[in-house]
Amino acid sequence: MFQLVRFSCDCVGTMPINGVSTIVRSCDGEGDNSFYQRTIEKDFQPLSAEQTEVFRSELEKLIFDGYGLRAIKSVLGVQTQLKKLLE
């Protein structure tokens, strides 16, 4: 199961391993999801299964949006190359 924790500073991320967590929502951000590792040595509490599912779903949508954008860029690149060949 994908489990996230909320740190005392209000960051949300993975449970730290050797003091390092993958942060998925930063306390000093504007509420946007992120995905980066940082050393964090603060108290934390596990999120409920429901709260974790909300974050997992949001991250999944961002990944699929990225795949979609990559596909669009690929199609546009093909069209640009075809246009150059036809000139």
Output the pLDDT for position 73: 75
Q: Which residue do the tokens 């949001």 mark? A: 58
Q: Tell me 34's DSSP state.
A: E
Number of domains within the chain: 1
- C-alpha distances (whole Å) from 53 to each of 19, 40, 76 are 24, 23, 34
Q: For 35-77, what is each residue's pLDDT tens digit?
A: 899 999 999 999 999 999 998 898 889 888 887 877 787 777 7
Picking from 41, 37, 32, the residue whose alpha carbon sits closest to that of residue 14 is 37
Q: Which residues does residue 17 pair with via DSSP β-bridges, in sequence order?
A: 20
Identify the domain containing residue 79 by its residue range.
5-86
